[in-house]
Amino acid sequence: MGGPEVSTSVPREVAWRRLLRRQPTFVIGLAVLVVILASGVLAPAWWTGDPQQMRPAQRLQPPSAVRWFGSDHFGRDVYTRTLYGARVSLVVGASVALLSLALGTTLGLVIGFYRRLDAVMMRVMDGLMAIPAILLALALMAMMRGSVRNVIVALLIPEIPRVIRVVRASVLSLREHTMVEAARALGVGTPRILVRYILPALVAPLIVQATYVGASAILFEAYLSFLGAGTPPHIPSWGNIMAEGKTYVQLAFWIILFPGLFLALTVLAINLVGDGLRDLLNVRG
């Protein structure tokens, strides 16, 4: 390329252009995610109506200039409901990602550093991970009342062991690192070593892991709702809209088509951002 890098503060425009060239899918994913986030948070501002308003005279109308995504069996506007549906998915995805990361990291650090605990806890983790996540979450939901909070709890339980595994693996290799040995020799206590020397090295892999956990949580929320064991039916989540639409798949395919398209795009965008971050932060996965 032309000449050495001179400036330390690259103009923002140039930095973006370089990012777009090196990681086009990352930028596209991020852009799609921002749009979906905005459409969920600012749903009232996007020419939507009331997501619950029923218009019996306009049942099962195909997409048109008035009803962009058509209407469902109660005459509710599918476009409005789809936009509002983003809220549930994003709340569940973000909550599960953040909470599983916080809890999994804490547990993983402790388990990885104490040998005696490690052997027992890893058997427990192996056992928990042997139960397919969606079935475990379904069984948990059967014992809990359907609410957004309980969906988050039911998805956390299968996800946390997976975060613990990632953290533990890193801790095990970092524990033998010279800097940790040196800190030990200087008399630094274990909690301080964990926070000051091990945790910072985990930040990059954990950010990447968080995107994958968030993406799978959003998919699983839709699965649970679709199967009737997730978010309560009166809340317009993507899974719920599609669950109601499945009876009308031959008559009104649009009820399933659009929320599913949004769901697929959201998960795809998060996965693209995750893959991009993995390359940018140089995380081996």
Q: Name the site residues for another protein (rule: CB under 8 A).
A: 25, 123-124, 126-128, 130-136, 138-144, 215, 219, 222-223, 226-229, 242, 246, 249-250, 253, 256-257, 260, 263-264, 267-268, 270-272, 275
- Among 76, 43, 88, smallest CA distance to 231 is for 88
Cβ 246 to another protein, closest distance in Å? 7
Report d(CA 20, CA 28) in Å as an integer.
8
Shortest separation between residue 25's beta carbon and another protein, angstroms: 8
Shortest separation between residue 251's beta carbon and another protein, angstroms: 10
Question: Is the alpha carbon torsion for 37, 232, 243, 80 positive or negative?
Answer: negative
Residue number with CB closer to another protein (173 or 247)? 247
Cβ 9 to another protein, closest distance in Å? 33
Q: Which of residues 123 and 177 has its CB atom nearest to another protein in the complex?
A: 123
Q: What separation, in Å, do the N-terminal and C-terminal C-alpha atoms of the chain show? A: 30
* Calpha distance 214→267 (Å, rounded): 8
What does the alpha-carbon distance between residue 111 and residue 120 come to, in Å, rounded to a whole number? 9
For another protein, the closer of residues 32 and 204 by Cβ is 32
- Find the shortest distance in angstroms from Cβ 217 to another protein: 13
Q: What span, in angstroms and rounded, lies between the C-alpha atoms of 104 and 115? A: 17
Q: Which CB contacts under 8 angstroms, 24+ apart, belong to 204-209?
A: 204/281, 204/282, 204/283, 205/166, 205/170, 205/283, 205/285, 206/101, 206/105, 206/163, 206/166, 206/167, 207/277, 207/281, 208/274, 208/277, 208/278, 208/281, 208/283, 208/285, 209/101, 209/163, 209/166
- For residue 71, what are the β-bridge partners? 77
- Rounded to whole angstroms, the Cα distance separating 86 from 34 reads 12
Shortest approach of another protein to residue 197 CB, angstroms? 31
Task: CB nearer to another protein: give 69 or 226.
Answer: 226
Residue 254's Cα: distance from chain center in Å? 25
Nearer to another protein, 180 or 218 (CB): 218
Q: Which is nearer to another protein, 45 or 261 (CB)?
A: 261
- Taking the least distance from each CB to another protein, the nearer of 43 and 267 is 267
What Rg value do the Cα atoms of the chain yield, rounded? 23
| CB of 171 vs another protein, minimal distance in Å | 22
What is the smallest separation between the CB atom of 277 and another protein, expressed in angstroms?
14
Residue with Cβ nearer another protein (89 or 105): 89
Instruction: Take residue 156 and report the two structure tokens written for it.
Output: 């956390």
Judging by beta carbons within 10 Å of its beta carbon (0-12, 13-18, 19+), is residue 142 exposed, middle or buried?
exposed
